[in-house]
């Protein structure tokens, strides 16, 4: 294991496919949170990316 050689390493690895987040419709109706989404036309947030092609999914 890499920890034995260099005293640092990782505990997990694997293939993954990232995905996106969806805006909760209730957040669009709530005045305390609706302003966050002003100017965003798509309900999908982060449906792109350099690693895994999505905003979520890199946690192991």
Where in the chain are the domains?
15-60
CA angle 26, 59, 52 (to 5 degrees): 85
pTM: 0.56
Burial classification of residue 35, based on how many CB atoms lie within 10 Å of its CB (0-12 exposed, 13-18 middle, 19 or more buried): exposed
Question: HEC string of the chain?
Answer: CHHHHHCCCCCCCCCCCCECEECCHHHHHCCCCHHHHCCCCCCEECCCCCCCCCCECCCC
User: pLDDT digits over 11-56, tens only?
Assistant: 777 777 788 889 999 999 999 999 999 999 888 888 887 777 888 7
pLDDT at 47: 84
């Amino acid at each position: 294991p890499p920890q034995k050689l260099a005293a640092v390493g990782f505990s997990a690895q694997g293939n993954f496919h990232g995905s996106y987040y969806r805006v909760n419709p209730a957040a669009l109706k709530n005045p305390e949170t609706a302003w966050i989404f002003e100017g965003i036309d798509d309900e999908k947030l982060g449906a792109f990316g350099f690693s895994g092609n999505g905003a979520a999914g890199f946690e192991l």
